[in-house]
Amino acid sequence: MEKTWRWFGPNDKITLDMLRQIGVEGIVTALHHIPNGEIWSFEEVNKMKDFIEGHGLRWSVVESLPVSESIKYGGEDRDMLIENYKESLRNLGKAGVKTICYNFMPVLDWARTDLENPNPDGTSNLYFNRGEFAYFDIHILKRRGAEKEWDEETLKRVESLKKEMTPEKENRLIENIIIKTQGFVSGNFSEEDLDPVGKFSNLLKLYAGIDKDRLRENMKYFLEAIMPVCEEYGINMCVHPDDPPMPVFGLPRIVTCDEDIDWFLNAVPNRHNGLTFCAGSLSAGAHNDVVALAKKYAGRTHFVHARICRVLPNGDFKESSHLDRRLIEIISTFEKENPDLPMRVDHAPLMLGDEKMGYNAGYSFHGRMLALGMVSGIMSALKYQSNLK
């Protein structure tokens, strides 16, 4: 697979020159300065492309061309927003940038409660604590009816958390769930928000009455509308699975499991409608056999996120090592079935001073560099082995 790296643009502290030194071949990025819903002009797309190429690299994948909330919940302006989306796709297609990652998660993109969960070796990782997440839902967001949606064991954890909660700890949860994980990936939130919880609750209201079937219909509507442009320019759309792969805050989620993936691929049976195989997101649900999913969907995958999670018996999950056996099997599947795919490592640990650098959550330098070294080693060993046969 092509070794790519998510880079956040010219202001990223990790520069393209640094990336060339560590074996990166292609760049994954977006026009982060353009607000959601606005057109990415041909000029802006080309400016980014030239900048990347000027550093001896290529722009392999867009992550993300964001789908506005209104397209997801089916608001009055959705057709206008879809037209804008199509125009951005045309401009990307003309410039030759043809792999587009997006997601169809309402309001909240990915979710974690702890961004620096310590490992025994002194590094730290992202962590999802189900009890703390439920605490946020019930006692911070104060969502009506939330208690009824959590299981008994989790509610017990919430009760004991109540005893030890402090305003500082509550603020950290708000920061982790709304600001730090969302701020850099979704146009909905930023570090400047004065009342992130209020804003969050208001966004949830937009989805009143939108259940799984409605959200599916809206995704189908969106995909059907953009497919002709994808056909014309040879663009591959690849939806990112929901992270974590389960409904959150009463919001439906529709890219969580085998049945969901099967549904959206068949609802719009066009090879340009495909998947970002994020092994990490899918493995965060104990219901998913992520190795089997890779085998089943390799042919409709356009982009791979190499990382993997371990789910604990209480429903918490944590990022696991990039040398996890399941990830080796998944890499082996893609190397065999679809070896030209772009692949990036993801959510690596913070290590060797990363924690002081203020990188976006999950996007350390040393941790990702080590992960890329591991995944590159796996790929080389697999190639060597298959040449021996």
- Residues that bind ligand DNO in the complex, under the rule CB under 6 A: 63-64, 101-103, 109-110, 185, 240, 362
Told to judge if 139 belongs to the known catalytic residues of this protein, a careful annotator would answer no
Q: How far is the CB of 138 from ligand DNO (least distance, A)?
A: 25
Q: Which is nearer to ligand DNO, 40 or 102 (CB)?
A: 102
- CA dihedral for 121, 125, 130, 134, sign (positive or negative): positive
What is the closest distance, in whole angstroms, from the C-beta atom of residue 102 to ligand DNO in the complex? 5
Catalytic residue among 101, 238, 278, 309: 278
Nearest distance from C-beta of residue 380 to ligand DNO, angstroms:
25
Q: Which of 272, 305, 322, 366 is catalytic?
A: 305
Catalytic residue among 347, 354, 359, 366: 347
Choice between 158 and 341, CB closer to ligand DNO:
341
Whether residue 73 lies in the annotated active site: no
CB nearer ligand DNO, residue 109 or residue 114: 109
Q: How far is the CB of 103 from ligand DNO (least distance, A)?
A: 4
Q: How far is the CB of 330 from ligand DNO (least distance, A)?
A: 16
Beta carbon nearer to ligand DNO, 63 or 354: 63
Judged by beta carbon, residue 63 or residue 316, the one nearer ligand DNO is: 63
Asked about 287 being catalytic, the answer comes back as: no
- Options 324, 346, 359, 366, the catalytic residue: 346
Say whether 305 is catalytic: yes
Nearest-angstrom CA–CA distance, 244 and 284 = 6
Question: Which residues are designated catalytic?
Answer: 240, 278, 305, 346-347, 363
